[in-house]
Amino acid sequence: MVKHAIEAFGRLDILVNNAGIGQETIRRDFFRAPIRFWEVDPAQWRRVIDVNTHAQYLMARAAAPHMIERRWGRIINVTTSLDTMIRGGFAPYGPSKAANEAHVAIMAQDLEGTGVTANVLVPGGPTNTRMIPDETGIDRAALIQPEIMVPPLLWLASEASDGVTGRRFIAALWDSGLPPAQAATSAGAPAAWPSLGRQAIYPKQ
């Protein structure tokens, strides 16, 4: 994909890791009948991890060298709400997205000084996509609509977000009535969980 993009456009500036599958691939009424982790077949577990975690790593790995060479680029991963990552009945989807977001935090540090940024964008709750099947019984009009992702995504993909990296943005909290930088401040937070503080004890040397 990276090779074909460069051949078609002569450059690669932006990677949006948006592909994802969830509990609907295991049981379509998962909100009414939560899936317990021991009910998940190992093949089902592996498929969700492959799409939600492994694929974003492979795409970022393939794209990063070209962006680094040009000294500019954007890697934007779509994960999920922190609540969903640790919600009962949401394995393997929750763990797959938690790993995805942890990798964004690592990528941001590894890419420091290259001109390439890595950030997270999430809708902010259940969203009107095929990942929420009709069998869940939820009114689709009550779901977050995918269009809310557009304003923060366009800002993250632009030069206006130069230097912004290692952050997570909640699209549902993005106020398009504000200047984009101000909207980003109110809708953003550090990616992953640095608020827990440094807990590891490393050797002094």
> What residues contact 154, with CB distance under 8 A and at least 6 apart?
none
Residue 117 pairs in a beta bridge with 74
CATH topology for the 2-192 domain: Rossmann fold (3.40.50)
Per-residue pLDDT tens digits of the chain, which is 205 residues long: 999 999 999 999 999 999 999 999 999 999 899 999 999 999 999 999 999 999 999 999 999 999 999 999 999 999 999 999 999 999 999 999 999 999 999 999 999 999 999 999 999 999 989 888 888 888 999 999 999 999 999 999 999 999 999 999 999 999 999 999 999 999 999 999 988 888 888 888 7
For the chain, the structural domain boundaries read 2-192
Determine the Cα–Cα distance for residues 106 and 98; give it in Å rounded to an integer: 13
Tally Cβ neighbours within 10 Å of residue 115. Answer: 14
Inter-CA distances, 127 with 130, 138, 143, 145, 169, Å: 9, 11, 5, 6, 15
Q: How many CA atoms lie within 13 A of 44 on its CB side?
A: 17
Strands (E), the chain: 14-17, 73-78, 116-122, 167-170, 188-190
